[in-house]
Amino acid sequence: MNIIYTDSLVIGGGLAGLRVAIAAKQRGYESIILSLMPAKRSHSAAAQGGMQASLGACIKGDGDDEDVHFADTVKGSDWGCDQDVARMFVNTSPKAIRQLSAWGVPWSRVRGGDRDVIINGEKVTITEKHDAHGLITARDFGGTKKWRTCYTSDGTGHTMLYAMDNKAIELNIPVHERKEAIALIHDDGVCHGAVVRDLITGELSAYIAKATTIATGGYGRLYSVSTNAIICEGIGAAIALETGVATLGNMEAVQFHPTAIVPVGILTTEGCRGDGGLLLDKDGYRFMPDYEPDKKELASRDVVSRRMTEHMRKGKGVPSRYGDHLWLDITLLGRQHIEKNLREVKEICEYFLGIDPVKEYIPVRPTQHYSMGGVRTQATGESPTLQGLFSCGEAACWDMHGFNRLGGNSVAETVVAGMIVGEYVADHCAKKSLNVSTTVIEHFMNRETDKIGALLTREYGENPFQLKAEMQKIMMDKVGIFRNGPDLEAAVEELKLLNQRAKKVALRNKISSSNPELVEAIRVPKMIKLAQCVAYGAMLRTESRGAHAREDYPERNDRDWLKRTLTTWKDDDADLPEISYEDLDIMKMEMPPGSRGYGVDNTVHHPDTEKRVAQIEEIKKANPTADRHEMQELLNPLEIPEKFKGRNERIGRGYN
Amino acid sequence: MSDEGRILRFQIFRYNPQKKGDKPRMVTYEVTEAPGMTIFIALNDIRENQDPSLQFDFICRAGICGSCGMVINGAPDLACRTLTSKFEDGEITLLPLPGFELIGDLSVNTGKFMRGMSERVESWIHDPDADKVNYNELEERMDPDIMEEVYELERCVECGCCISACATKRMRPDFLSAVGFMRLARFHLDPRDKRTDEEFYEILGDDDGVFGCMTLLGCEDYCPKDLPHQTQIAFLRRKMALVK
Ligand SMILES: Cc1cc2nc3c(=O)[nH]c(=O)nc-3n(C[C@H](O)[C@H](O)[C@H](O)COP(=O)(O)OP(=O)(O)OC[C@H]3O[C@@H](n4cnc5c(N)ncnc54)[C@H](O)[C@@H]3O)c2cc1C
Ligand code: SF4
Ligand code: SF4
Ligand code: FES
């Protein structure tokens, strides 16, 4: 039996995983990173748009700070997020971006003086402050009050990932590439590591660690059309689910991005609209102002995606052989801007659509994009039910996004959570010793060996590629942007059947080493289970919140549904997961539920909301001299590692 | 579209070194072309419907991650963003990128090479103070133009196409190659990296470095991200020639 020991095992070499490993290593703990492929190819590289951090250096970000970022994030989440976590996040994000700057990310910088920008379809000249020249600049993104999304032209994720992986290489952190974690090793409520398959030789090894972190990214590929990389299959979340002990949070919270190209679903960044691009219908008419007069194209993502779908349902979509779509018009930004700041978009249009976006409109449609749900963790990143298991990044439900995440808040989450969770991982390594019996390791190794053996010997059975395609179609058709009871019930039933069939997969290519069909056969049953968590959670949640939009329950219902969905799968033979709920306590909220300011507000309020609003008024009255930092401590005291407690400096404003 | 539904003929290199007794060979597959079909779509079609053992690497399928470099009708390129309609006669020959360890069929181990390259050129900011930086304070100011130029050089996706196209690399296995030169040029330009020209010379200044380069520029011709190899290699040569 091949066993590898380390202090901190990190499953996933994207931004989140790399940052956790760096934190542990800098504190003196050995870390090993596992990745399906070279870390620099992780999906984080695809983030074009930017990272939110309230630096407030560019003129349109003037007046920005943690509080404004916090309010945007909580509103964006439709009050579904954990406000303690959102607070930790907004306070730490400026530190994270500045650290990345020191580590080499070539963030785009403020250029003092006049420049022309497009705002609301018009050319406007804005004047950047000369004393901000050379500081990190920012662009506009949906759902934010200020221009807060910092960027590197349109290669933000790429440059962040390269800097982060380079840092890991500098620290000599090993990345074991082409390795797939296929099961967690645990007993007695403690996680000890993972069973890992080598994707080249097919060998299984046990990686044993004091702390195991799942940073495997999202589960977008449960859907047939997604902006996600094809490896975003949710396997990390699935192996946590399969422990029967760890819980998943808010799996039904799935975001659709307004502007992926038709038909292949490759993303054109929100930066297109942030920089002034418009959405047009088949008549060339700009329709968003009719629906959202205030934020227009830059309303929150979930809102824009729904408005686009509504508009297409009114017959205003552009018909094509791949179904209806709308137009994204960036021609008004001009060649120079597009070739510099939106070049990846231009390349994508040229290579995949054969069009020049400087002159032509881009065909777009809302498409699956982001997984708010994932491995449920506490604010420390540790699973509340499985000790020693941590998670962060898109794989986690740390829960700063609730039911809808803002553009730019995700790569920000990966690096901020990576910093914070990494400290807690290091604390955990300091406290614990490696303590696991070989019998336990053997048990899990044998179980996985037997499963693979069964796959390789079964003569006849189901085709894993086909099962996956069927699952993806069910999710697309019945668990999409707009959801309703009958469709969701049908999806839940159909997925149950698929789950049964997935137990009888047989292979045509019966070799145990490098074998793409075997990889698929190992993953597909796990993916179907995750799909069931999403569909079942969506069926039970009889309200609309953020990206979860029920046509039969259009109102946000705080009275009955201000809670987080928790999913476990205790009995492997069961044909459905178990779902329970965790209340969000309004009486502890820094920002009690209110209206997001889109469309009509039909919220069913919770009785505590009024109480908490009154209580906050009292606290404010009782502390008339408290500044914003003191007020935050009173309303939402933070537990965060000491090193992240400092205040953030801003140009023209100091540390206030 | 007139060519819709035509039959494409793929000639694909097949060899699985993991399988005892397997031998390198070319195998022909036929695929019915669909509108907007890329080599990514076609290869998956072959794997799902004809031969589930076929190995290849795609991740982003959007020309972003650099995993899908292969030799397409003689030219190294990113397969995911290559439309099949580009090939008028419908004949497409696919070979794995030369110069890298073969994993199987069209899959090669670029990752191992690139990690080695990053270690060799020390692909990170060299500044003893980088980890002491107080991140509560304003970040160090940077010239906006220089940051843009750094980004231009950082657009490399480590796909390996430049290496496959390099004759020097074929003759000198330890040749640092274009990807390494571009990485060094990136750090040389970055004011945050405090390395001196002498220190760069240590890495670059021999025949496995920039003096071994024959400037035939296969690298620039095939770089899918259009990195400015020619100007940067010439620049590094001039710089390094001044050191000694
Ligand atoms: C096209 C696109 C554009 C985006 N643009 C933006 C943007 O502009 N701003 C923003 O904030 N967010 C953006 N996002 C979202 C953001 O990029 C992601 O949420 C974020 O990068 C996820 O990072 P991560 O580290 O959590 O996971 P990933 O980067 O997805 O990394 C996952 C890692 O886990 C590994 N892995 C997975 N499963 C296993 C396993 N079983 N065993 C071993 N290893 C495994 C993979 O190899 C990989 O290394 C975008 C997303 C997409 C799809
Ligand atoms: S110029 Fe020629 S020899 Fe030099 S790196 Fe490029 S391909 Fe190789
Ligand atoms: S320099 Fe160009 S061809 Fe070479 S690895 Fe980078 S992107 Fe690929
Ligand atoms: S699959 Fe990412 S570049 Fe081709």
d(Cα B198, Cα A565) in Å, to the nearest integer? 59
Q: What are B177-214's pLDDT values in tens digits? A: 999 999 999 999 999 999 999 999 999 988 899 999 98
Please say if the pLDDT value at position B91 is more than 60: yes
Q: Is the CB of B78 within 6 Å of ligand 4?
A: yes
B154 with A133: Cβ contact below 8 A? no
* A residues 132-161 closer than 8 Å to B (CB): 133-137, 152-153, 155, 158-159
Which residue of A26, A108, A231 is in closest CB contact with B59?
A231
Mean pLDDT along residues A515-530:
97
Q: Among B123, B139, B193, pick the best mutation site for testing chain A contact (most A Cβ within 10 A).
A: B139
The residue of chain A nearest to residue B61, with distances taken between CA atoms, is: A229
Record the tokens describing residue B103, joined without a space: 């994993």
Residue nearest atom 3 of ligand 3, based on CA coordinates: B223
Q: What are A11-36's pLDDT values in tens digits? A: 999 999 999 999 999 999 999 999 99
Please say if the pLDDT value at position A373 is more than 90: yes
Please say if the pLDDT value at position A207 is more than 70: yes
Other Cβ atoms less than 10 A from the Cβ of B100: the count is: 19
What distance in angstroms lies between residue B41's CA and the mean position of ligand 4's atoms? 12
Q: Is the CB of B95 within 6 Å of ligand 4?
A: no
Q: Tell me what pLDDT residue B1 has.
A: 43
Which residue of A94, A134, A153 is in closest CB contact with B141?
A134
Please say if the pLDDT value at position A120 is more than 90: no
Confidence of residue A622 (pLDDT cuts 50, 70, 90): very high
Which of A176, A217, A182, A213 shows the shortest CA–CA distance to A197?
Answer: A182
- Omega cis (within 30) before A263: yes
Residues whose CB is less than 8 angstroms from the CB of residue B240 and which lie 6 or more positions away in sequence, other chains included: B197, B200, B201, B204, B205, B209, B210, B211
- Residue ranges of alpha helices (H) inside A80-178 are 83-102, 156-170
Mean pLDDT along residues B100-120:
96
Q: Is the CB of B58 within 6 Å of ligand 4?
A: yes
B147 with A109: Cβ contact below 8 A? yes
Cβ atoms of A393 and A217 within 8 Å: the answer is yes
Query: Which one is predicted more confidently, A598 or B183?
Result: B183
Please say if the pLDDT value at position B4 is more than 60: no
The residue of chain A nearest to residue B136, with distances taken between CA atoms, is: A648
Q: What are A233-265's pLDDT values in tens digits? A: 999 999 999 999 999 999 999 999 999 999 889
User: A321 at the B interface (CB within 8 A)?
Assistant: yes
Confidence of residue B80 (pLDDT cuts 50, 70, 90): very high
Q: What percent of chain A has pLDDT over 70?
A: 100
Which ipTM score applies to this complex?
A: 0.97
A229 with B59: Cβ contact below 8 A? yes
What distance in angstroms lies between residue A285's CA and the mean position of ligand 4's atoms? 35
Please say if the pLDDT value at position A579 is more than 60: yes
Please say if the pLDDT value at position A141 is more than 90: no
Which residue of A41, A135, A347 is in closest CB contact with B63?
A347
Record the tokens describing residue A119, joined without a space: 């705002």
For the whole model, what pTM was predicted?
0.96
Confidence of residue A62 (pLDDT cuts 50, 70, 90): very high
Please say if the pLDDT value at position A587 is more than 60: yes
**A595: closest CA of chain B, how far (Å):** 33
**A315: closest CA of chain B, how far (Å):** 25
Mean of all residue pLDDT scores within chain B: 93
User: A169 at the B interface (CB within 8 A)?
Assistant: yes
Q: What are B151-175's pLDDT values in tens digits? A: 999 999 999 999 999 999 999 989 9
**A380: closest CA of chain B, how far (Å):** 21
Mean pLDDT along residues A268-294:
93
Q: Tell me what pLDDT residue B2 has.
A: 46
**A47: closest CA of chain B, how far (Å):** 10
Other Cβ atoms less than 10 A from the Cβ of A468: the count is: 24
How does DSSP classify residue B97? P
Record the tokens describing residue A204, joined without a space: 């299984």
A655 with B136: Cβ contact below 8 A? yes
Q: Is B80 exposed, middle or buried (0-12, 13-18, 19+ CB in 10 A)?
A: buried
d(Cα A183, Cα B95) in Å, to the nearest integer? 35
User: DSSP per residue over A102-143, as a string?
Assistant: HTT----B---EEEEEEETTEEEEEEE-GGGTTSB--B--TT
Record the tokens describing residue A325, joined without a space: 């779509």
Q: What percent of chain B has pLDDT over 70?
A: 98
The residue of chain B nearest to residue A233, with distances taken between CA atoms, is: B59
With contacts defined as CB-CB under 8 Å, which chain B residues touch A42?
Answer: 65
Q: Tell me what pLDDT residue A412 has.
A: 98
Chain A to chain B Cβ contacts (< 8 Å): 204
Nearest ligand to the C-alpha atom of residue B234 = 2
Mean of all residue pLDDT scores within chain A: 95
Nearest ligand to the C-alpha atom of residue A38 = 1
Residue type at A374 in one-letter notation: G
d(Cα B94, Cα B71) in Å, to the nearest integer? 6
Cβ atoms of A423 and A22 within 8 Å: the answer is no
Mean pLDDT along residues A435-459:
95
Q: Tell me what pLDDT residue B130 has.
A: 81
Q: Is the CB of B65 within 6 Å of ligand 3?
A: no
A517 with B52: Cβ contact below 8 A? yes
Q: What are A296-353's pLDDT values in tens digits? A: 999 888 899 999 999 999 999 999 888 899 999 999 999 999 998 888 899 999 999 9
Mean pLDDT along residues A518-534:
98
B138 with A175: Cβ contact below 8 A? no
Q: Is the CB of B105 within 6 Å of ligand 3?
A: no
Q: Is the CB of B233 within 6 Å of ligand 3?
A: no
With contacts defined as CB-CB under 8 Å, which chain B residues touch A643?
Answer: none
User: From the centroid of its chain, how far is CA A186?
Assistant: 26
* DSSP helix/strand/coil, B159: coil
B114 with A38: Cβ contact below 8 A? yes
Which residue of A95, A106, A647 is in closest CB contact with B147?
A106
* Cα→Cα distances A617→A227, A588, A611, B137, B202, Å: 44, 14, 10, 33, 66
**Phi/psi at A475 (5° precision):** -65, -45
B118 with A166: Cβ contact below 8 A? yes
* A residues 232-291 closer than 8 Å to B (CB): 263-264, 266-267
Q: Tell me what pLDDT residue A392 has.
A: 97
* Range from A336-350, A566-580, B120-134 that averages highest in pLDDT: A566-580
Q: Among A19, A33, A37, A41, pick the best mutation site for testing chain B contact (most B Cβ within 10 A).
A: A41
Please say if the pLDDT value at position B3 is more than 50: no
Paired sense of beta strands A278-280 and A326-329, if any: antiparallel
The residue of chain B nearest to residue A166, with distances taken between CA atoms, is: B124
Mean pLDDT along residues A152-162:
95
Mean pLDDT along residues A185-201:
97
Record the tokens describing residue A572, joined without a space: 């492997």
* Cα→Cα distances A253→A67, A83, A393, A505, B41, Å: 25, 17, 15, 29, 29
B139 with A166: Cβ contact below 8 A? no
- The kind and range of the H/E element at A208 are strand A204-214
Mean pLDDT along residues B62-78:
96
For the annotated catalytic residues of A, the residue numbers are 257, 273
Which residue of B36, B53, B54 is in closest CB contact with A263?
B36
d(Cα A475, Cα A488) in Å, to the nearest integer? 9
